[in-house]
Amino acid sequence: MTDVELAGDEYGPADGSGVLLFHGGGQTRHSWKNAAATLGERGFHAVSYDLRGHGESDWSPDGEYGTDRFAGDVRELARSQPSPPALVGASLGGLSSMIAIAEADPADPPVASALVLVDVAPRLESEGVGKISSFMLSGVNGFDTLEDVADAISAYNPNRARPKDLSGLRKNVRQRADGRWVWHWDPQFLRPRLVDGLADGDRHYVHEERLSAAARRITVPTLLVRGKESDVLSEDGARHLLSLIPHAEYADVSGAGHMVAGDRNDWFNDAVVEFLARVR
């Protein structure tokens, strides 16, 4: 039993084929809204969750946010479904899903029926991961206005159109008692040894050996979706994953960076729905 309650949104018929979606570090379940809604429209029962310490989910009581915690949550949520669901995970959500599947007790029922990894693999680019860490750290003390929040996001991802209506940013930030806006996640998540569950911003990826071993144990149908302009997952990193999971399919998305689902939402939705419809 997990030590936290996790918030989620459901889409589609309750008896549809199950799909669980998990966002990246520092994001919330709302990053999947369009993709989850599309899956629901296509007859899947899709549920997007806030990871522990993010969005409206509980924060870890002891302030710990290691890979085991996230993977344990994914595994428990998957096992709460009527049958093994497909898991779709971006960045931290993808790594947690892979660990949840690969390190499950083989005597227990399968955790998942399929896996979609979004711009993540065991071998990541330290510079790109460090950029994410720096972006997240830059907002720890908060922002005076939502305009400042939008400016910070635009500086990190200049290829994404700056929203004219800033009200949507309220899903990713919360207002403190002093009036400042802060990101919608527990600051303890950014302790140096736990940055995004990926790296500490100064060293290379800290779990590559463990994740490579996990990838070798993945036997369910798998799709890797990479943003062609990503500075987090290189083409070499993608090919390394494909060597570990030889049966995996691969989609390299032009015009998209690390935030593939947001950068090319229409293409992403079509590719993931087609894959899941084919393998379910």
Average confidence (pLDDT) per 10 residues, the chain, 280 residues: 89 98 94 94 97 96 90 97 97 95 96 97 90 83 92 82 84 90 88 45 57 97 95 96 98 88 84 94
Q: 3-state class of 114 per DSSP?
A: strand
Taken as a whole, the chain contains a residue count of: 280
Give residue limits of the domains in the chain: 8-125+210-279, 128-190
Q: Into which CATH architecture does domain 8-125+210-279 fall?
A: 3-Layer(aba) Sandwich (3.40)
> Using CA atoms, how far apart are residues 17 and 34, in angstroms rounded to an integer?
18
> Using CA atoms, how far apart are residues 124 and 44, in angstroms rounded to an integer?
31
Q: 3-state class of 129 per DSSP?
A: helix
For the beta carbon of residue 184, count every other beta carbon within 10 angstroms: 21
Structure tokens at 17: 């084929």
> Using CA atoms, how far apart are residues 149 and 239, in angstroms rounded to an integer?
35
Structure tokens at 18: 């199950």
Residue 127 DSSP code:
H
pLDDT at 1: 55
Q: Where are the beta strands (DSSP E) in 70-133?
A: 86-90, 114-118
Task: Please list, in sequence order, all residues whose beta carbon lies within 8 angstroms of the beta carbon of residue 190, skipping any fewer than 6 positions away.
Answer: 133, 136, 137, 140
